[in-house]
Amino acid sequence: MTTALSSAQTLKSAVGPVAYFLLRPVRFAKEYQRADFRPDLVAGLTVGVILLPQAVAFSLIAELPPEMGLYAAIVGAIFGALWGSSNQNHTGPANAISLLVLSSLQTAYVPGSPEFIVAAGLLAVMAGVFQLVLGVARLGILVNFVSHSVIVGFTSGAGLLIVLKQLGPLLGITVGGDNILGDMQQLALNLPQAHLPTALVGIGVIILLVVARRVNPKFPAALAAMILASGVVFLFHLEQDGVAVIGSLPRNLPPLADLPLFDLRFIRNLSAGALAVGAIGLVETLAIGRSIATQTNQRLDNNQEFVGQGMANIFTGLFSGYPVAGSFSRSAVNFSAGARTPMASLFSALVVVVAMFFLAPMATYLPVTALAGVLVVTGFRVIDRIEIVRIWQGTRGDAIIMLVTFLGTLFLHIETAVLMGILLSLVLYLLRTSTPRVHAVLPDRSYRHFHYQPDKPACPQLTIIDILGDLYFGAVSHVEEAILAQQREHPEQRFLLMRMHNVNHCDFSGIHMLESLVRGYRDRGGDVFMVRVSYQVMQVMQATTFDTFLGEKNFLDEDGAISYVFQHVLDPAVCIYECPVRVFKECQNLPKRLISTALPLEQDGVADMASQVTPRALWELLHANGAAAQPLIVDVREPREFHRGHIPGSELLPLPELLTSQFEWPPGREIIFVCRSGRRSQRAAHWLQAQGHQDVKVLQGGILAWESAHLLEAVD
């Protein structure tokens, strides 16, 4: 598999993408193996038996002559196989596409008229050009933006519409309403005038198809039913009693059509329909191919499939056919019959050619009601009730898309319904990507994973945010507002840790939003940190100098992020004296001495910070001056911290005692506060300054800095 893929990539780079796609038949011929011939032949014969009656029946859905269905079956199968990507996908007339063709044409042309027939061929060419351009431009990814709900809604609506539209021919009733409601009203009014022989033949065909499917699903029941119905008409001369028949079929290969390829009037009338036919045809075909590929492990090329469908439609239109697409039923039969390569589709086209020459006279007695019976059964089968229930019970957006497309297919122009469904899919995609989930997360009980736990008490100093989406221009406003809302809800949380592993894309709007957040937190005396920034996002941050703006030390390793923030950023005075919860693993062994008169956090402003003295300067001060001139060193840590190591000559006065007791401070003597990292010292200094003592300093960096300078003396 790897060698084949690398060879294909080498060939594509050598001849160019356009030539590579168009040379697909050459590659297929070179790769074909003799061992695949017999399985492909058997599968082709099996599918061909089904394709023949379907081609005639589906052309009647589009209200086109039966020969156009046969021509489309031959040409579509050949070109779809040679230029497509899937080994088992079968291209040709399809029920939903046929209904879409009728809806697209009847708004401008009278069904059955010469212009209507010409327009059907031109519609195939236009849809094919649209598909081919998408393929050679390598835009196969666009099909991913069409929701599966659109396809389910459309096929279900089309299936029901086919059933309703075939009730008139099935019962021998003329129906000509302006819409489906009008058709049903006329059908109900004219039901007493139903033609009994016609109804009996059509209903008999339906019964035969249902029974045969239950007895032996692989039996070609449609072909057998049509042959049997033709025999009944011939034996009892029912055509003379008013049973409508197809008439003679052509006994020639598909002829080249005379199409108005550059007639702007036709092109203008058919443009919307061509887009709808092209889009739905591609989505249906790729959906079929993917479902089969999951069982065969074949790697599909969306762009090559676009080219294959484009070529099939272009040449089908040029050779007197009408638009084609992948068929669910025939592709499934092709796969189950053992098809290994696209050669099976070529054999199925050959079966139709042979049948046209040898079975054409039988069509003189083929009753229209028999075809209507086949289509009624087919219409019911394409309504995927299980999938409808699953979508309805799933997300609300998918259910709405399916319902809108379904109702639009029934009551609007079908191309309008399809385009509405596609537009709703794009809107849903934009809504989902522009409103990514932004959660404040907390560690679980094992302290190994972070989850959204709104009922769990949060840390009063640190917010941890998980962003589940990209930071692009459409989403930054939502993300920023979500973070600011969290900030308003917890104004005491001055520090923000952003988990960025789900952010795969960030544009300049995202960078601008991040800069604004960082400024806001720093203005409040806090800061912002990030973990697991992806390579792509980091590239953008470096290109826009955001990495310098945030600071290298603020990009943390995920495993040590909480420990770093806890040890070097958070205020231990808050943890010990003001916070009653133990959120992080690092909190578990922390002493808790809650006091009600502690200095409020919001008063701990940067502007009021006390003067600082470096560890080296303090050491020199302690060793150079006399005892009377030496400052008073006050250690505001907890006793167990003090006994692990402290500055010689310092006095222990834990912060709670400092804040809650009255002391006589020596007049005229400088006071230097010491703690672990300097944050408790600042709070003590701020408190003492508020009491009127101005000659107060703190040890810069605390005992950690003193230890780093190799000045710490352990106590025995």
Q: Is 675 a catalytic residue?
A: yes
- Tell me 646's DSSP state: B
Contacts of 291 (CB under 8 A, 6+ apart): none
Closest CA to 550 of 517, 523, 525, 524: 517
- Cα–Cα distance for residue pair 209/187, rounded to 1 Å: 24
HSE-up of residue 242 (Cα within 13 Å, Cβ side): 14
| Nearest C-alpha neighbor of 598 from the set 502, 686, 520, 536 | 686
DSSP 80-121: HHHH-S-SS--EE--HHHHHHHHHHHHTTS-TTSHHHHHHHH
The beta-strand segments (E) located in 500-583 are: 527-531, 555-556
- Please count the other Cβ atoms lying within 10 Å of the Cβ belonging to residue 557: 10
In the set 459, 506, 579, 675, the catalytic residue is: 675
* Phi, psi dihedral angles at 468 (to 5 degrees): -105, 70
* Beta bridge pairs of residue 635: 652, 674
Angle at 335 between CA 334 and CA 340, to 5 degrees: 95
Q: Who contacts 131 (Cβ-Cβ below 8 Å, separation ≥6)?
A: 278, 281, 282, 306, 307, 309, 310, 313
Find out whether 1 and 297 touch, Cβ atoms under 8 Å: no
Which run of H or E residues covers position 325?
Answer: strand 325-326
Query: Can you tell me the distance from the alpha carbon of 656 to that of 638, in angstroms, rounded to the nearest whole number?
Result: 9
Q: Where are the alpha helices (DSSP H) in 107-179?
A: 114-136, 148-171
Burial 163-192 (b: 16+ CB within 10 A, else e): bbbbbbbbbbbebeeeebeebeebbeeeee
CA dist 104 and 63 (Å) reads 12
The type of residue at 558 is E
Which residues are the active-site residues? 675
